[in-house]
Amino acid sequence: MTNHTASIHTASIHTASRAGGLAMGIAAMASVGGSVAVSGVLADAPLFTVQAIRYAAAFLLLLALARAARVPIRAPRGGEWLWLCGVAALGLVLFNVGLVRGSEHAEPAALGVAVACVPVVLALVGPLLEGGRPAPAAVLAAVVVTAGAALVQSGGRTDLAGLGYAALVLACEVGFTLLAVPVLRRHGPWGVSVHTCWIATVQLGALGLVAEGPAAAATLRGPHLAAIAYLAVVLTAIAFILWYSAVGRLGTALAGLLTGVAPVAAAAVGVLLGGPVPGAGVWAGTALVVAGLVLGVRAPRPVGRRREGATAGAPG
């Protein structure tokens, strides 16, 4: 009887952890989708300098919050430096370069479709990195979410260079999650977020000095600074913690499905800002995203060494 009660208690804890992970992942991706309009304000600003300031501000904010919450931030050691530098270089630096430079050759929708392919890649590769194997139901759910997200984006015109940038954006988005998995167990969401932000600040600062000059920051205007503040606080400091917490609780395959929320959120924010009401294709795509998420949540867990919450490293 005691063992049975303990099993029920453990199951309830896992259920609550999973529900919390889903909520955090959805909130993180919704903030990503809602930031599209804000990012457009920075179209005429020096790219590397702006992003360096953004991640520097996010690093300081995260460090202050971690200290206030008494969350320990451990120093990287050994091979952890490679993983953290990889997350910063791919997921933060090159991702922003791909988005900005890619927009010169492809419509935003085309780049959005590339990001929409993330669930399939994570469903296939993520479980392998976590010591398991892909679950067929999870892969099917990822395909459904990807199809829905692509339908919401409604395609988009591009050229050969645009396709290359789209592939870069996809690789960077996948790398942002997968390269963090080996260090999430020891550093947790807070440690990974803090370290990748300051590493990206150094990388972007060096690029900004070389490509844009030390006076580039002086060209920023009020709207630029407001947009940078929003991106640093909401899209970086808050969203990073939420996303890596979700990955730790759910695993990469299930968390990857939640990236389909981003284009849906972007479409919703567009309407709130006075844009046209979405057409039938957007509604159909949204329904597919929801159906894929439901299918993914109900899919069997991947078989292997990984346990739910193994990499969570939750604060406290």
Which 3 state secondary structure label does DSSP give 50?
Answer: helix
Res 156: pLDDT: 54
Res 118: pLDDT: 77
Beta strands, E only, the chain = 132-133, 303-304
> Which pLDDT tens digits describe the chain residue by residue (316 residues)?
455 454 544 555 666 777 888 889 888 888 877 676 677 678 789 999 999 999 999 999 999 999 999 999 999 999 999 999 999 999 999 988 887 777 677 666 556 666 667 777 787 777 776 677 777 877 787 787 777 777 766 655 666 777 777 788 888 888 999 999 999 999 999 999 999 999 999 999 999 999 999 999 999 999 999 999 999 999 899 999 999 999 888 888 788 888 777 777 776 766 676 666 667 766 777 777 777 777 776 666 554 444 444 333 333 3
Res 294: pLDDT: 76
Res 37: pLDDT: 63
Res 64: pLDDT: 95
The answer to whether 315 touches 190, Cβ cutoff 8 Å, is yes
Burial (CB < 10 A; 0-12, 13-18, 19+), residue 291, is: middle
Res 121: pLDDT: 78
Res 275: pLDDT: 65
Res 252: pLDDT: 82
Alpha-carbon distance of 119 to 302, in angstroms, equals 15
Res 307: pLDDT: 40
Q: What residues form DSSP beta bridges with 132?
A: 304
The CB density around residue 44, as the number of other CB atoms within 10 Å, is 9
